[in-house]
Amino acid sequence: MLTPRYLFQDDFSQFYEYFLSQPHEKRSFSRGSLLWEPDEPFRRIHYIVSGISRTYVEHENGHRKIVSFHGGGTVFPGYHNQDYKIEKSIITQALSDMEVLEFTKADFCRMFESNKLLNARLVEWFSMYVNLLLYETAHQEYNSSFIKLCNLLYLLLTNAGGSQSSIIDITQEDLSDILGISRVNLTRSLARLREEHIIRTRRKRITVTDPPALARYCSLETL
């Protein structure tokens, strides 16, 4: 069975040539730039050719909650007709230089309605995204800070290639913003994992040296 994903990539790679054949604009975003302006509902839809972005919600009190990351071969935001107020608080920022194919909602609507394979893939993609949101609100919310961190590292490791990769490139600030915990609690939990020789940390990188030991701390919903 599928487990939650924080990193979405290669979900729409099979449609790359099809997207190229449809009306679009090729755009480039430099590292640190925003893919659309804050306080703006979704008006454009991107197929990411290369690079990676971070999507977060900015609360009116200044707090930030990272929701997901999006890499090459995926579409974001997904297509829908309605405008939702929360969209004005959703920000997507390039974490590296990015190349995208940009579509208007009208053009993507036409593709959505005429291409049954794309239609089905979008439904599956939204299902995966909803699964992540349900996991966050109905499961992670009730775990301790330490279990939250173990769950997140395990899922990020799985996204990065599972047993074929032990490296997670992420900042401690981003970990804190995903989990919604203080830097003090995060630092304490990371220190415990280091002391047990489960991880090694360096600037913007975590190496999982003992994945089975990490998994033993994870909740059943995560495994």
Q: Tens digits of per-residue pLDDT, 56-72?
A: 988 777 788 899 999 99
Give the mean pLDDT of 49-59.
Answer: 91
pLDDT category of residue 213 using cuts at 50, 70 and 90? very high
For 142-216, CATH gives 1.10.10.10
Q: Tens digits of per-residue pLDDT, 133-177?
A: 999 888 988 899 999 999 999 999 887 654 456 888 899 999 999
Give the mean pLDDT of 19-38.
Answer: 93
User: Given this model, what pLDDT does residue 19 score?
Assistant: 97
Q: Which residue has the tokens 């089975």?
A: 212
Radius of gyration of the chain (CA): 18
Q: Do 147 and 155 form a contact (C-beta atoms < 8 A)?
A: no
Both tokens of 120, joined, read: 């089905």
Neighbouring residues of 126: CB distance < 8 A, sequence distance ≥ 6: 78
Q: Report the C-alpha gap between 187 and 119 in whole angstroms.
A: 43
pLDDT category of residue 21 using cuts at 50, 70 and 90? very high
Strand partners, 66: 56
Please provide the average confidence, as pLDDT, over all residues in the chain: 91
Give the mean pLDDT of 88-109.
Answer: 93
Alpha helices in 7-101 (DSSP H): 16-20
pTM: 0.86
* CATH fourth-level superfamily of 7-138: Jelly Rolls (2.60.120.10)
User: Given this model, what pLDDT does residue 172 score?
Assistant: 92
Both tokens of 6, joined, read: 């924080």
Which sequence spans correspond to the domains of the chain? 7-138, 142-216
Q: Do 58 and 39 form a contact (C-beta atoms < 8 A)?
A: no
